[in-house]
Amino acid sequence: MIPAAPRDHAGAGRRGAGRASCHHGEILQGVFLDAAGRRCPGLVTLPMSGPGSRAAFTRRPGTPPERLTVRPPDRTKAARAAALAVEECARRCGEPPCGGELRISGDIPVGLGMGSSTSDVIAVVRAVADSYGMRLPPAAVARLAVRAELACDPLMLDARPVLFAQREGRVLEVLGHRLPPLVVVGCALGGGAPVDTLSLPARAHDDHDVRAFERLRVLLRRAVATGDTALLGRVATASARHGQRLLRHPEFDALVGIARRLGAVGVQIAHSGSVAGLLLDPAAPGLRHRVRGCLRALERDGIPATRTFTTFPGAPGAPGFPDPADLPGFPTTTTTTKESPSGPAHRGGHRPTGPDTPRRPARLPAL
């Protein structure tokens, strides 16, 4: 537990705020071997700054823990996360659990595979912990997130490239300090329609599949260690092809063709949604021309472009790295600075309400 700044006891210590970012789908997802040689589903996500979830929690000491109000009321996973976090934080503080008021807002499109529900859950856990004057370690946040939604993304680890067991909330391998530099031209397959992952048939993986995923794991480890953007693109494309056995996006071959024609290093997709990206090496000649070409090609093929972003916040101005704001399609309102996990929660811009499972197609420009 990391203590936060002291709070007064007149009420300030009873209010907390939390924030969590999203991701842009996966670079790698499959079934891997853990340290004990046991098969374990795992994934490596592509971090993305900008969109996120925000939560504000006010605890009410002396009220029963079941007296918990949530706005919007449909965020059932977030409500479970709040109750679990209250129980955890109260135990650590030696206090009885209590009720409270929770407000959630955010601007992550739902159903595209960007980790919207995990972002909600982590923001809520951070807000509850903040109301107790503490910050929970990432391992504890991951454990609570899995209990709240059965599987979670590694958003509590702040963009470090890790192979993460999403159903167990544990890190299988830390791949390195940061991903190789990438420029990502984002798009949405299937017209941006949400993917109901619960309706997809479960796919059994045999020994051949596991060996293939383990080979990709080795290559991705090497790509991160050496900063090899091209190798990372090969891994992401291979993983995306595996994902197509289940998702079967009709535009996938067109996306791969665009990448090949315009010199992208590869493609990536969300394995539980429709968001996808063309991956480009920022040090390659003619980057701005390539980005413009990707945007035009996506438009010609009827694939909605969403957002152009980078994996190297803070690098603009360094040799070989363009200022991301100069790239075509880069949103002028997006920050590339590191996001704080807590702080004042903004209350505007609620995502569309409905069940925690996909609700309706996202408004693509919101990406």
The model's pLDDT over 8-59, given as tens digits with 9 standing for 90+, comes to 444 445 999 999 999 999 999 999 999 999 999 999 999 998 899 999 999 9
How many angstroms separate the CA atoms of 81 and 60, rounded?
A: 17
Would you say residue 324 has pLDDT above 90?
no
Which region holds residue 47: left if phi is over 0, alpha if psi is between -120 and 50, else beta?
Answer: beta
3-state SS assignment for residue 37: coil
Give buried/exposed letters for 243-274 (b at 16+ CB in 10 A, else e): beeebebebbebbbebbeebbbbbbbbbbbbb
Question: Look-up: residue for tokens 């659990």?
Answer: 97
Least confident of 43-52, 145-154, 294-303, 353-362: 353-362
pLDDT range class, residue 190, cuts 50, 70, 90:
confident
Q: Identity (one letter) of the amino acid at 156? A: M
Q: Which of 57, 28, 55, 273 minimizes the C-alpha distance to 162?
A: 28
Instruction: Give residue 282's Cα distance to chain centre.
Output: 22
Would you say residue 195 has pLDDT above 90?
no
pLDDT range class, residue 319, cuts 50, 70, 90:
very low
pLDDT range class, residue 311, cuts 50, 70, 90:
confident
Higher pLDDT, 355 or 85: 85
Every domain of the chain and the residues it spans: 2-345+361-366
pLDDT range class, residue 245, cuts 50, 70, 90:
confident
CATH class entry, domain 2-345+361-366: alpha beta
- Contact between 149 and 13 under an 8 Å Cβ cutoff? The reply is no
Would you say residue 346 has pLDDT above 60?
no
Higher pLDDT, 178 or 325: 178
Q: Which of 26, 28, 25 minimizes the C-alpha distance to 215?
A: 28
pLDDT confidence of residue 49: 84
Least confident of 2-16, 62-76, 91-105, 204-218: 2-16
- Contact between 52 and 106 under an 8 Å Cβ cutoff? The reply is yes
H-assigned helices in 65-152 = 76-93, 116-131, 138-149
